[in-house]
Amino acid sequence: MIGYNANWNPVFQHWHEFLLGAWLDVWVTLISFVLACLLGVAVALLRLSGLRLLAWPAFAYVQLVRGVPLLVFLYWVYFGLAIVAGLAFSGVEAAIVALTLTGSAYTAEIFRAAVSSVDRGHPEAATALGFTRRATFVHVVFPQALRIALPPLGNTLVGLLKGATLISAIGVSDMVFQAQQINLSYFTPFEPFTAVAVLLVALVAVVSLLLTGLERALRLP
């Protein structure tokens, strides 16, 4: 490169911090994803309830949350909501709240579409066999919907992982934060940001492989 002496030593000296930072990103992503799935199922059930009074707020929630950028959400929760509600969120807590809410709007749509795409004949058959409404949903419709929902849920998981890299913007010491620290201490911007880019691509590749494996394992014979 033109007059730029690459110096990878700082990155290698701090590899431990990088990995710890990456682990923080993964950890925040996983917790948010699980919470987003639970909240998403709840919102989807409201939308599918057939009661306009429940379905409409759920629809508005999804539209609202999907229209707001994650970074705006993150700042809104961390700086805004914290002051108004008198809560002192830590960076990680604010990140989990923002990622969960954003994720839930997407998972709600995924679950709704998946439940709707389960063949009508199955719940009818279950009802004919004397299943209650609840048993029909839990034992017949939901397990099938989950399998249909798996590929798009995987995309949401990867999206949340990429979103989680934003948390250094509110001061959480994740892997991007470590890269910024190295840039500030050693004035070598190229190497640490390349390192986090490589780490993220590797993480996404691992998650994608796991998801492909899971899809194959759950595929109908």
Partner 1 sequence: MSALAPGLLGYTFRWSIVPEVMGELAHGVRITLELSGLSVVFALALGLLVALARGSRLAPLRIAAYVYIQLFRALSLYIYVLWIYFGIAAAVGVNLSPLEAGVIALTFLNSAYMAEIYRSALGAVDRGQHEAAFSLGFSRPRAFATVILPQAIRVAVPSLVNQFVDIVKDSSIVAIVGTSDLMGVTTQLVGYYRAPFELYTVLAGFYLSIVLLISAAAAVLERRLQRHLR
Amino acid at the residue 66:
R
Helices then strands, counting H and E runs in the chain, come out as: 11, 0
Q: What's the DSSP call for residue 149?
A: H
What is the chain's alpha carbon radius of gyration, rounded to the nearest angstrom?
Answer: 21
Q: HSE of 85 in the Cβ direction (CA atoms, 13 Å)?
A: 11
What are the CA-CA distances from residue 158 to residues 169, 181, 202 (Å)?
19, 26, 12
- Residue 49 or 90 having the CB closest to partner 1: 90
How far apart (Å, rounded) are the C-alpha atoms in residues 59 and 88?
Answer: 30
**Least gap, CB of 133 to partner 1 (angstroms):** 35
Tell me: does residue 210 bind partner 1 (CB under 8 A): no
Tell me: does residue 94 bind partner 1 (CB under 8 A): no
Is residue 114 exposed (0-12), middle (13-18) or buried (19+ Cβ within 10 Å)? Answer: buried
Q: Which of 27, 59, 75, 131 binds partner 1 (CB under 8 A)?
A: 75
Q: Which stretch binds partner 1 (CB under 8 A): 11-19, 49-57, 81-89, 93-101?
A: 81-89
What are the CA-CA distances from residue 91 to residues 5, 37, 141 (Å)?
35, 22, 38
Q: Which of 50, 52, 53, 84 binds partner 1 (CB under 8 A)?
A: 84
Tell me: does residue 201 bind partner 1 (CB under 8 A): yes
- Residue 40 or 191 having the CB closest to partner 1: 191
**Least gap, CB of 8 to partner 1 (angstroms):** 12
- E strand map for 94-175: none
Mention every residue, 6+ apart, whose C-beta is less than 8 A from residue 50.
Answer: none
Amino acid at the residue 191:
E
Q: Which of 54, 68, 146, 148 binds partner 1 (CB under 8 A)?
A: 68
**Least gap, CB of 154 to partner 1 (angstroms):** 13
- Residue 44 or 170 having the CB closest to partner 1: 170
Footprint of partner 1 on 147-176 (CB under 8 A): 158, 162-163, 165-166, 169, 176
- Residue 86 or 121 having the CB closest to partner 1: 86
Q: What angle do CA 143, 145, 147 make, to 5 degrees?
A: 75
Interface contacts to partner 1, rule CB under 8 A = 1-4, 6, 63-64, 66-73, 75-76, 79-81, 83-86, 158, 162-163, 165-166, 169, 176, 179-180, 183, 188-191, 193-194, 196-197, 200-201, 204-205
